[in-house]
Amino acid sequence: MVKAAILGATGYAGAELVRLLSYHPDAAVVYPASHSYAGKKFSDIYPGMKGVADMTLREDDIAAAAEEADVIFLALPAGLASSLVNEEILGKAAVIDIGADYRLHDRGIYEKWYRTGHHSPQLLGEAVYGLPEIHRADIRGRRLIANPGCYTTCSILTLYPLLKNRLVDTRGIIIDAKSGTSGAGRGEKLASLFCEVNESIKPYGVASHRHTPEIEQELSEAAGESITLQFTPHLVPMNRGILATCYARLRDGVSAADVEEAYSMYSGEPFIRIISTPPETRFVKGTNTVDISWRLDERTGNIIAMGAIDNLVKGAAGQAVQNMNIVFGLDETEGLMGGAGSPF
């Protein structure tokens, strides 16, 4: 039985982790922590978990967590994880950071885009980017996993086969993405209020969203060259879900058969479905699944690749559990199988 600690257990991603691990056959939450709600029961904060997760929340103390847990999940604001993780902690427990502190290989790029200092740059070389479909072999048995962002998971997996197989021009790639409001977190923000979001859609972080360098980093590695792309996120009035519509120019002579063969790299992946119709967020809601589809536009010479995920599951907590399973040699799908509910 893998013993888990969750620091930041009452945020949306942390709470989703509690939910998933509560039903995991080979894991148990032994140290649920929340600075804001220490001393309260988790089910008092999330009444839907009454009778399932009634444990008392503890203080966010990573040293205490490392004494009790085999794995520590960090669902904390940017900059905080890097100030907490050190060799002593990693000598006692594996760490899966759901935040951004260890995703980018370059400290300078991280500090530029996140506008905060990085306090343990010596660990950046040890951290593994936790996108299992691409880095599975590197994740096994490692101590520090950087869980990818939600927009990035969807965008990278949607485009990766095209870049890996050199089917598209690396210049001029555009990602137009939409997210539900839970992606903004549980904190009180004017821009996330119901009356501000309902019956509206808006772009944000235009030409400046912090997930941009993460997407560029992974797709550059896939292509074997440095990539600069255009990424624009949008906020839509729904609770969960991300839809990424990606545009790229096909290289001369690339056919539909070439594209189909490229996406066959995902054959056998338990959480990726290549579908014939454009994906919809409702069909992946509550699951760890990625739905991907594509279309060739012969008129423009472009490919439109589309992906959909649940931002709190495959985009956060579900992927973190998937990484935990791999790290500890469990069946990768444990605690994560199941389709979207109905009605959607």
Q: Residue 241 has what pLDDT?
A: 97
Residue spans of the domains in the chain: they are 2-126, 151-309
CA dihedral (103, 105, 110, 112) positive or negative: negative
Q: Are strands 242-249 and 302-309 parallel, antiparallel or unpaired?
A: antiparallel
Give me the CATH topology for the region 2-126: Rossmann fold (3.40.50)
Q: Residue 143 has what pLDDT?
A: 97
pLDDT by residue, tens only, the chain of 344 residues: 999 999 999 999 999 999 999 999 999 999 999 999 999 999 999 999 999 999 999 999 999 999 999 999 999 999 999 999 999 999 999 999 999 999 999 999 999 999 999 999 999 999 999 999 999 999 999 999 999 999 999 999 999 999 999 999 999 999 999 999 988 787 777 878 888 889 999 999 999 999 999 999 999 999 999 999 999 999 999 999 999 999 999 999 999 999 999 999 999 999 999 999 999 999 999 999 999 999 999 999 999 999 999 999 999 999 999 999 999 999 999 999 888 765 54
In angstroms, what CA-CA distances link 307 with 31, 97, 142, 286, 311?
35, 24, 29, 16, 12
Q: Residue 278 has what pLDDT?
A: 98
Contacts of 168 (CB under 8 A, 6+ apart): 162, 248, 249, 250, 251, 254, 303
The answer to whether 3 and 317 are in contact (CB under 8 A) is: no
CA dihedral (52, 56, 57, 63) positive or negative: negative
Q: Residue 343 has what pLDDT?
A: 56
**Catalytic residue positions?**
150
DSSP assignment of 92-157 equals TSEEEE-SSTTT-S-HHHHHHHH-S--S-GGGTTT-EE--HHHHHHHHTT-SEEEPPPHHHHHHHH
Please state, in angstroms and rounded to a whole number, the distance separating the CA atoms of residues 248 and 229: 10
Backbone angles phi and psi of 336, in degrees to 5:
-130, -10
The answer to whether 300 and 245 are in contact (CB under 8 A) is: no
The architecture in CATH of the region 151-309 reads 2-Layer Sandwich (3.30)
pTM: 0.96
Q: Residue 196 has what pLDDT?
A: 87
Q: Residue 211 has what pLDDT?
A: 97
Contacts of 120 (CB under 8 A, 6+ apart): 82, 83, 85, 86, 101
Q: Residue 341 has what pLDDT?
A: 65
